[in-house]
Amino acid sequence: MKSDLDQLMQDYELDAILITWPAQHNPAMFYLTGGVHLTNADLVKKRGSEPVLFHYPMERDEAARTGMATRNLGEYKMGELLRQTNGNPLQADILRYQKMLTDVGLTEGRLGLYGKIDAGEAYSVFSGLQEALPGLTILGQMGDSILLQAMATKSEDEIERMRRIGRTTIEVVSLVADFLTGHATRGEILIKENGSPLTIGDVKNKINLWLAERGAENPEGTIFAIGRDAGVPHSSGNPQDYLRLGQTIIFDIFPCEAGGGYYYDFTRTWCLGYATDEVQKIYADVLAVYKQVMSDLKADSLCREYQKLACEIFEDLGHPTIQGNPQTENGYVHSLGHGLGLHIHEYPRISMAAGIEDRLVPGSVVTIEPGLYYPERGLGVRLEDTVWVRPDGQMEILAEYPLDLVLPMRSI
């Protein structure tokens, strides 16, 4: 949680953190500012002190809205800095950071660096700043970011935001189910009122519309994939494809609050009208793993154990898994789930990859998403819910929805 930041900075021997640039679609900045509309800003937090937000003159009102201590970047006179550096914007920017950090008393110690910006700019500006301030050690904490560690447990108000986006997700999912099952069919194909086939593109337009109506965004898109595409876990679905009865549809929806805020993540697999015995069997196997894992989840346990459990059950049921063959593209081919919050993928990771010792703890929010994929057989099945480990150690799915495979068509 945010309140862990000072302790985490202490653990990692960081004297301060610097977060660069926009407050939206930039989880590090969103986390500390709450997502106001700042297009460019810098935030400095020293250990044990409140953060200071550096903003441009035109965005002073938005900056003030955070309630933080603010400083106006106009005072650093970029025009003058450019003249001092013979019009070299890189050197001028390095000089600006040097002055800013000097002003807040940060010319030595260890500084952690965050924020989503251009890789080339980050590399060149902060290499230059490192040279300009040799007493300071600039650190990019790949893979063990203290912000990601703070984010790994959620406060009650973060859960409230996630619950709200979860409810929106479920509303949209049930609108989609209703929309699909209300269509007429011609042979195996769903058709629109004008007689032309309904396409995945049509469905995705509706999804976007219904999310937007509810103030949600889906910056990462939506997976709505049918048949062979459902058998390729991250295929997002071909907009031209028709909706056909009896084929597996993987519907994986992961919207966030407008402005790039908190996410929800949810998957169902549907067959319209009917499901073949082959699909029923695969679905039953995924459901068995889903249920076993859900009932086994326990606070303070090692996440990798659940991935191990999922692989064992799937192998007992005769499916290849990435545990048996890391290169397999058939069977169970991904990890069981992941933390969720301001990123689609956060801590803890439910994976057996080397070095991953993440634990499920009170405050964790994770997805549980077992699946089976057989692209050559034209099918895939995945079930996913988002689970919160409550302070009392109980598990809670943040937005409940039926797990049914077959959606009966109302016209048949």
- 130-189 residues near a copy of itself, rule: CB under 8 A: 138-145
Which residues 266-325 are close enough to bind a copy of itself by CB under 8 A?
none
What are the tokens at 291? 């249920």
Out of 1, 212, 284, 412, the only residue in the binding site for a copy of itself (CB under 8 A) is: 212
* CA nearest neighbour of 224 among 209, 205, 246: 205
Instruction: Specify whether the CB–CB gap between 356 and 304 falls below 8 A.
Output: yes
273 Ramachandran zone, left/alpha/beta (phi>0; psi -120 to 50): left
Q: Which is nearer to a copy of itself, 121 or 396 (by Cβ)? A: 121
124 binds a copy of itself (CB under 8 A): yes
Spatial distance between the Cα atoms of 312 and 306, rounded to a whole number of angstroms: 10
381 binds a copy of itself (CB under 8 A): no
- At 303, the amino acid letter reads C
221 binds a copy of itself (CB under 8 A): yes
Which residues 2-31 are close enough to bind a copy of itself by CB under 8 A?
20-21, 24-25, 28
Q: How far is the CB of 139 from a copy of itself (least distance, A)?
A: 7
Which residues 41-60 are close enough to bind a copy of itself by CB under 8 A?
56-60
Out of 51, 166, 227, 233, the only residue in the binding site for a copy of itself (CB under 8 A) is: 233
* CA nearest neighbour of 395 among 362, 371, 370: 362
Q: Which is nearer to a copy of itself, 211 or 313 (by Cβ)? A: 211
Out of 48, 87, 135, 318, the only residue in the binding site for a copy of itself (CB under 8 A) is: 87
Out of 11, 69, 178, 209, the only residue in the binding site for a copy of itself (CB under 8 A) is: 209
Q: Which is nearer to a copy of itself, 212 or 284 (by Cβ)? A: 212
Stretch that binds a copy of itself, among 3-11, 213-221, 291-299, 312-320 (CB under 8 A): 213-221
353 binds a copy of itself (CB under 8 A): yes
3-state SS assignment for residue 144: coil
Instruction: Specify whether the CB–CB gap between 330 and 374 falls below 8 A.
Output: yes
Q: Which is nearer to a copy of itself, 124 or 301 (by Cβ)? A: 124
1 binds a copy of itself (CB under 8 A): no
Spatial distance between the Cα atoms of 384 and 250, rounded to a whole number of angstroms: 10
376 binds a copy of itself (CB under 8 A): no
Q: Which is nearer to a copy of itself, 78 or 317 (by Cβ)? A: 78
Out of 260, 261, 371, 380, the only residue in the binding site for a copy of itself (CB under 8 A) is: 260
Q: Which is nearer to a copy of itself, 152 or 389 (by Cβ)? A: 152
CA distances from 139 to 14, 126, 129, 221, 370 (A): 9, 10, 12, 32, 36
DSSP 167-181: HHHHHHHHHHHHHHH
Q: Which is nearer to a copy of itself, 62 or 158 (by Cβ)? A: 62
217 binds a copy of itself (CB under 8 A): yes
DSSP 370-403: -EEEEGGGTEEEE-BEEEEE-TTS-EEESS----
Q: Which is nearer to a copy of itself, 3 or 327 (by Cβ)? A: 327
CA distances from 228 to 190, 374, 382 (A): 18, 8, 14
Out of 48, 295, 354, 402, the only residue in the binding site for a copy of itself (CB under 8 A) is: 354
DSSP 37-84: --SSEEEEEETTS--EEEE-GGGHHHHHHTTSEEEEGGGG-HHHHHHH
Stretch that binds a copy of itself, among 4-12, 98-106, 313-321, 350-358 (CB under 8 A): 350-358
Q: Which is nearer to a copy of itself, 141 or 181 (by Cβ)? A: 141
Q: How far is the CB of 49 from a copy of itself (least distance, A)?
A: 20
Instruction: Specify whether the CB–CB gap between 135 and 108 falls below 8 A.
Output: yes
3-state SS assignment for residue 196: coil
Q: State the DSSP H helix or E strand holding residue 151, giving kind and residue range, or none if neither.
A: helix 146-151
Q: Which is nearer to a copy of itself, 61 or 404 (by Cβ)? A: 61
Which residues 103-122 are close enough to bind a copy of itself by CB under 8 A?
112-122
